[in-house]
Structure 1
């Protein structure tokens, strides 16, 4: 499944979550200093994806894969990070912040998934017409801690 998403959000973030997520996006642990630097916050059943532009524009390609993408050439991207997400409800959602409006919802098999977020054009985020772009891949994989595969140096 591959979807093009374009929506607005606030506070430089949006969420990918299990419909019945127990995680608290308001907790001090969610957007910790490390999470902020990594551009990815993690709680039980919810991930916070950090975006760069102040306009709150999310321009994103979201793809659910059958297996992990083995291409580790990240030269086209500014920042690449991944983390795990457990699905309990059988429903995956993409939500805006802070209203949690559903931007995408799909049925999905319960289990552990890995989500990789590729960020590109981050230098343009503060231009009059920001062109930062986010590619998100998701596949079934056992739980692992958050890991930055390429860190943006601004």
Structure 2
């Protein structure tokens, strides 16, 4: 497992097949924002609550992990094709050549994106990354699996104001 701190500029973290040129600009529909996810064949944009640093853990697995969604605020899954065998994980505006890469089985992968500490991050907003108690946390789990439809397993909604 790798632990990263990534700048979620434009409220996004990107994961994609090395060599891809993902462009999510026109794909953030109302549904995508609610799902916190934009999916293309070889890339996924993860929507974040805050527009500052977030803690991201990445786990490359051999098979489907156990369901621990009760421990998280928002959980979504999507499929991605990674023909290069290397998956890039980075902040939306990070310099791609410097981004972290993960060796994966070439072909179709399943990703489970679990997000935690969303209420506290939302409340503190731009200052959320100044304290581990308020920092938004993401866990991205990746394993080889046939392509299936994206799904939101558990949905988080911002607190009412």
1:44 to partner: Cα distance: 2.4
Aligned partner of 2:77 in structure 1 is 82
1:153 to partner: Cα distance: 2.9
- Superposed CA offset, 1:96-120 (max 9, x none): 2134534311332211000001111
Unaligned runs of 5+ in 2: 129-133
* Deviant stretches of 4+, over 4 Å: none
Greater CA deviation, 127-136 or 113-122?
127-136
1:9/1:79 CA distance change after superposition, 3 Å: closer
Unaligned runs of 5+ in 1: none
1:23 to partner: Cα distance: 4.2
Aligned partner of 2:131 in structure 1 is none
Aligned partner of 2:28 in structure 1 is 31
Q: Distance in 1 between matches of 2:78 and 2:18?
A: 18
1:8 to partner: Cα distance: 1.4
Q: For the aligned residues, what is the CA RMSD? A: 1.6
Tell whether the 8 Å contact from 1:16 to 1:92 is kept in structure 2 after alignment.
yes
1:57 to partner: Cα distance: 0.8
| 1:141 and 2:142 are equivalent in the alignment | no
Aligned partner of 2:7 in structure 1 is 8
Corresponding residue to 2:56 among 49, 57, 60: 60
Tell whether the 8 Å contact from 1:19 to 1:89 is kept in structure 2 after alignment.
yes
Q: Distance in 2 between matches of 1:80 and 1:65?
A: 17
- Give the aligned length: 149
Greater CA deviation, 113-122 or 127-136?
127-136
Greater CA deviation, 16-25 or 134-143?
16-25
